[in-house]
Amino acid sequence: MAPDTTHLALPFFDAPHRAMAAPLVAWATAQQVDESDDRQACREWVRRLGDGGWLRYCVPAAFGGALPQLDSRALVILRETLAFHSPLADFAFAMQGLGSGAITLAGTPEQQAHYLPAVARGDKIAAFALSEPDAGSDAGAMQTIANFDHSTGAEGKNDSIFLNGTKTWISNGGLADFYCVFAKTDMAAGTRGITAFIVDADAPGLDASEHIAVMAPHPLATLQFRQCRVPASAQLGPLHGGFKLAMQTLDIFRASVAGAALGFARRALAEAVAHARQRRMFGQTLADFQLTQAKIGEMAALVDAAALLTYRAAWLRDVAAAACDNAQGADAWRERSVAAAMAKMIATENAQRVIDMALQMHGGLGVKVGTRVESLYRDIRALRIYEGATEVQQLIIGKTVLQG
């Protein structure tokens, strides 16, 4: 089963986006990965995505990437296509981008040269460590702290940083080769006291062995930092600039979360149509019933509504990005952030509805473990929470509307 790509004719997309679609669909359709072990499957997907050249869309061309800079529309197309075929393939791709995005945005030339080409090849697995047990949507409440070593190195500078605290719900936790970790460097300053650091998986004092099992298996873990020592060169971006960097990173990839939800929804719709056409009852197919036709029509409209918001958000980020550098920069930034929030909210919520209707249409088969609609039902649920829950997106949109 292959996804329809006629939507790429919409004016949101350019020739390079359309050129990548056909080989991507062919490649994804041909992949067969045993996903019974989610951690092993993710390693395999990273390897295959790297060998196939698709991870090159996670980094800029200067470091082995496919395009001059991170392109939101390319990320959406990739995630939508991969999610249609395999949620784990989408997960593996997305985390390579999200986990290294802060390095792309704020890394030193040395940091970028060391990590980004390896991410593009699939040689290093990346992770993004922001959430804590008591600091999810409220990042300012984080308790993980970074202390600079007061002893001096050969050049009279602090030569070590010690991290202490806990991060949880970390995708690729225990699997990643490095983590972009956000920690307090000023406990009294809230979000203004957060700094980012690159922590290699073998850093002394880092324990990533506590894995988290969830309803749709994905590699997640809790990270414990106990006097975890990293060199001063591991600081990522400016001191106390971590919160802004985290938000900028999430902003790049938020539309791609909507793309993943769109891929799930398109697959559910395709499964529902195929089932309705072949399932016979009362002397006709399920598709012959007007109630079925009405449901299919509603599902298709929900998918298209989500798609248009998703593609608009990605286009705004790519094409309108230059406006953020001029006098209208604040307005342009607000416009694209709100568009991404709308896309993430509507795409994930609509996908949940479409998948639920597809499952209902399958009847008993819909809840049988191992069927595609059953797994989609579990896979979609997390997307309404991670990288900004639906309620957070509503707040972003509502506040902006009220501010005029």
Contacts of 34 (CB under 8 A, 6+ apart): 40, 41, 44
Contacts of 209 (CB under 8 A, 6+ apart): 174, 221
CA–CA distance, 302 with 132 (Å, rounded to integer): 34
Question: Which residues lie across from 179 on neighbouring strands?
Answer: 127, 199
CA–CA distance, 267 with 281 (Å, rounded to integer): 24
**What is the total residue count of the chain?**
404
Alpha helices in 1-37 (DSSP H): 15-30
Buried b (16+ CB within 10 A) or exposed e, 29-45: eeeebebeebbebbbbb
* H or E element at residue 215: none
- Catalytic residue (choose from 210, 349, 387, 391): 387
What's phi and psi for 95, nearest 5 deg? -70, -25
Q: Is residue 387 flagged as an active site residue? A: yes
3-state secondary structure of 25: helix
3-state secondary structure of 203: coil
Residues noted as catalytic: 387
